[in-house]
Chains A and B, each alone.
Chain A
């Protein structure tokens, strides 16, 4: 695959400018860049699946043919047979009303490669190859019965069913947990080796590329700024943007922790049960124990990390601490006052605030920023008279302009929105801020800035943080202590450096081993 001088505009807006790179047979090629840099659009151009209103020029050479000049019929014959593709979101990438065996077999059937019966047999073999043996994952299962990692395996089976020469993987593991990510990457690497196909791996995660790719191209604003052999590129990093990316991805903010001995939050033996769906119309509802006997303490001025994979109970615990859900056992104490779901005194509630993951979904789009940030004031018995001034001060503290109060939230970027969310959290000067995956949706550069901001605010206002994340490197950068949660229980707890350097519990060891890392000697220069 040889891309040369690929340029693209959508309705006149330039998206790609003069993109050139080559993917050699049998190699893993990494395409890195931040969101909006044009990585996915490049991939879609290669597949001929561009949205309407797109103008492309340049050349996408595949085995001597320019794909940009091919008609739709020829491209349909090529997609799935010669070039396979998998996407970021395995939860929604499969048709929910068709069983997985049929969906894999369909690739063979549409290309006329097999009869329906033969396709079913081939699909079965492919499912086994991606690690879904029929005795545990019968091909008549539906996507909703599988986990995210298993669904991504089905997507891979579909994409490689006809043994294509090139597989394009667009952020294939971004939505997955670290251990699942490691397994999927391992599978992709095996497929490249065993079947001699090429893999184009699109990702924002430099560590994944460092771990996987033979060659790398770095994209920014629709252009390739630097390309080369992975190790060489990481060691030399000629382009300032590449250097900045490397710096930001491993960024650890300067923190002067002033931890007081007094606890802000004390969680004692908390149990949280969820009622499951009734099995029978009569009979008791079965219960699921999402949080099982969890205890933790956060002292004033301290940053505590809570790590674990999705479904381990992190978010359930957060909701319980915030008093959103009742607990079935144990106590939660905030500044000496007990937290009870449903009747939580405003004054107690005002002592803790939260910042969520999604900077797009966590604001009411119809309210202006001033009103959004001022919202926590309703917790106070008498709202302050100088609301505007205090909102302005909070906005200034997070690096925004006081004049931003009169704008709507859609006028801001993801990083700016997350700053506004932090402003909303600190405007009533809480003691504790819960950061629930607060930087997970941000690009590395923005993430580094937000982490600096959080460290700065902690120093200035003496805040305590409960930092919840699946991203171990971020937790390592910003916390004093860390708790590791697995299946509703805290399995390990200790000082951050100690836990990361010598993890005691096998689960923690497994998590740390699965986290991809850029070899340190590569970055030394």
Chain B
């Protein structure tokens, strides 16, 4: 197991190095000079050159890459071209919205999907299964911003249980903040829960047909004991994969929901960064997302190994 963790850690480190090189190179070849963009069309060439120097845009490719990479390792992400504040502060503030929102949505989605999927699989072909399959089909088909607007209409405008948008900041208290994140989290969670419930259902149905389930029944376990004791853990492996993918998607992919609810999240930051040629912000946020994806993949790998002893060998 230790060897497994070590080998995963090594591949995590290598992935990060490769990813940072790719991101840096891609940003490098994108047309559009940030300095020229900031100074406007009529700027004198030497002013632009001076600004380029100040922003750290001159120098060789390798030296700039190394400066950027080592900067990140020490927590120095550089200074935003447009906001003129350290990128680390900018990203940090947004991360404190996006990360809790993502985790909140994932917890909701898992809490809904696992029992619903298990119920559908256990009652396969029955009315409960039929209803769940229909509902999840709708959940996947309907765009989440529409859900979001519906939620605002019902819970914020009509019932006035929640605010319609905005984020007060964590210094105003945990409950107030969580309350502000609830409607966006629900809007994000519903489509994800629909997908996850379907994966849970099909994975469990496949597991129920396995020979060891018959063995468990022959031992005298009831159907319920056999499902909970033997099938569920085996069926969770594909579900873990999807949860891992959903985490990365939600972290940056919540931009539409962030806009609907006026949340200062990472999605909006990266969108603004791109439109304003604030490449250092884009670079940093993309790198952060890549790091999150790789880290989550690592954690999912570890979870696999915890669930399934066959995967504990180093690969």
Q: Which residues of A contact B (CB under 8 A)?
A: 47, 49, 72-73, 76-81, 84-87, 89, 92-99, 106-107, 110-111, 142, 144, 155, 158-159, 277-281
Contacts and interface: CB of A to CB of B under 8 A. Distances in A.
Nearest to A140: B309
B87 to A, nearest CB: 34
Nearest to B217: A49
A95 B234 contact: yes
A87 B213 CA distance: 12
Interface in B212-248: 212, 214-222, 225, 229-230, 233-234
A521 B216 CA distance: 43
Contacts of B314: 277-281
B210 interface: yes
A98 B230 contact: yes
B216 A95 contact: yes
B7 A281 contact: yes
Contact of A159 (B218, B221, B229, B313): B218
Contact of A96 (B7, B10, B212): B212
B46 interface: no
A76 B214 contact: no
B211 interface: yes
Interface in B163-220: 210-212, 214-220
Q: Which of B7, B215, B229, B309: most chain A CB closer than 10 A? A: B215
A245 B20 CA distance: 70
B205 to A, nearest CB: 13
A78 B211 CA distance: 20
A76 B218 contact: no
A93 B230 CA distance: 12
A277 B308 contact: no
A110 B211 contact: no
Contacts of B313: 277
Given A80-B221, A158-B215, 5 more contacts: A93-B214, A97-B234, A97-B307, A159-B219, A278-B315
Would you list the 5 A-B pairs with minimal beta carbon distance, nearest first? A80-B220, A92-B211, A85-B218, A80-B219, A79-B220
Contacts of A89: 211
Contacts of A159: 218-219
Contacts of B309: 96-97, 99, 142, 144
Contacts of B229: 106
Contact of A47 (B10, B211, B218, B308): B218
Given A72-B222, A142-B309, A281-B7, A94 B214 contact: no
5 contacts: A49-B214, A49-B217, A80-B219, A94-B215, A107-B220
Nearest to B219: A80
B219 A277 contact: no
B7 A92 contact: no
Interface of B: 7, 10, 210-212, 214-222, 225, 229-230, 233-234, 307-310, 313-315
Contact of B215 (A73, A93, A278): A93
A92 B216 CA distance: 12
A93 B225 contact: no
Nearest to A92: B211
Contacts of B216: 95, 106
B14 to A, nearest CB: 10
A99 B310 CA distance: 11
A81 B308 CA distance: 29
B106 to A, nearest CB: 24
B300 to A, nearest CB: 16
B310 A81 contact: no
Given A97-B307, A277-B313, A80 B233 contact: no
A79 B218 contact: yes
A86 to B, nearest CB: 8
A86 B212 CA distance: 11
Contacts of A86: 218
Contacts of A144: 309-310
A79 B211 contact: no
Nearest to B306: A97
Contacts of A280: 314
Nearest to B312: A142
B301 to A, nearest CB: 15
A78 B313 CA distance: 39
Q: Which of B216, B218, B229: most chain A CB closer than 10 A? A: B218
Contacts of B233: 97
Given A96-B234, A97-B307, A281-B7, A80 B211 contact: no
B219 A106 contact: yes
A94 B218 contact: no
A318 B71 CA distance: 58
Contacts of A99: 309
Contacts of B315: 277-278
B13 to A, nearest CB: 11
Nearest to A282: B10
A92 B212 contact: yes
Given A87-B211, A97-B307, A142-B309, A49 B7 contact: no
B313 to A, nearest CB: 7
Nearest to B210: A92
Given A106-B229, A142-B310, A279-B314, A111 B220 contact: yes
A95 B230 contact: yes
B255 to A, nearest CB: 38
A96 B219 contact: no
Contacts of A96: 212, 234, 308-310
A94 B307 CA distance: 15
Contacts of A277: 313-315
B310 A110 contact: no
A79 B212 contact: no
A107 B219 contact: yes
Contacts of B225: 110
A98 to B, nearest CB: 7
A338 B214 CA distance: 50
Nearest to A48: B217
A87 B215 contact: yes
Contacts of A92: 210-212
Nearest to A158: B219
Nearest to B310: A144
Contacts of A85: 218
Contacts of B210: 92
Q: Which of B219, B225, B314: most chain A CB closer than 10 A? A: B219
A93 B218 CA distance: 11
Given A87-B215, A144-B309, A76 B222 contact: yes
Nearest to B215: A93
A347 B126 CA distance: 57
A199 to B, nearest CB: 15
A107 B210 CA distance: 19
Contacts of A47: 218
Contacts of A158: 215, 219
Contact of A76 (B212, B221, B230): B221
Contacts of A84: 218
B212 A94 contact: yes
A34 to B, nearest CB: 22
Q: Which of B10, B217, B307, B308: most chain A CB closer than 10 A? A: B217
